[in-house]
Amino acid sequence: MPAVNRQRRFVTVVAALVIPIVLVPTAAQAGGKTEDGSSLGNSKGNLQGKNITVETKVRTTVNGTPSTGKTGNLSSADSNWTPPACWYEPAFSPKEIQATVKAWRGISGLPLIGSVGDFVGDMLDQRYKEGKPYKNYNLDKQGEGMFWAAAINPKRKDDPEAMECDKPPFWVDNGVTPPEPLAVSPQILAEYAYDELPVPGTEIEMKPAGVTKVNLPTWIWLDKAKFKKISVTASLPGTGLSATTTAEPVSLHIDPGTSDAQTYPASGDCQINADGSIGEPYADGKANDTPPCGVTYLRASGSDGAYALQATVTWKISWTSTTGEGGDLPDGTFGATQDVTVQEIQSVNR
Give domain status of residue 73, yes or no: no
Q: Who wins on pLDDT, 307 or 17?
A: 307
Write out the residue range of the structural domain in which residue 338 sits: 199-343
> Is pLDDT larger for residue 261 or for residue 289?
261
- Higher-scoring residue by pLDDT: 124, 170: 170
Statement to judge: residues 123 and 263 lie in one domain: no
* Number of domains the chain contains: 2
Q: Would you say residue 251 lies in a domain?
A: yes
- Phi, psi values for residue 168, rounded to 5°: -70, 165
State which of 144, 159, 184 marks the end of a domain: 184
My answer on whether 136 and 236 are in the same domain is no
Is residue 269 within 8 Å of residue 333, measured between CB atoms?
A: no
Q: Is residue 166 one of the residues assigned to a domain? A: yes
Residue 13 counted as domain residue: yes
Q: Among 154, 184, 214, give the residue marking a domain's end.
A: 184
Distance (Å, whole) CA 286 – CA 306: 25
Residues 48 and 147 in one domain: yes
- 155 and 217 co-located in one domain: no
Residues 216 and 265 in one domain: yes
Domain shared by 15 and 105, yes or no = yes
Q: Give the model confidence (pLDDT) of 83-124 as tens digits.
A: 999 999 999 999 998 998 888 887 766 665 567 778 888 888
Assess if residue 249 is contained within a domain: yes
* Contact between residue 312 and residue 334 where contact means Cβ atoms under 8 Å apart: yes
pLDDT-derived band at 4 (thresholds 50, 70, 90) equals very low
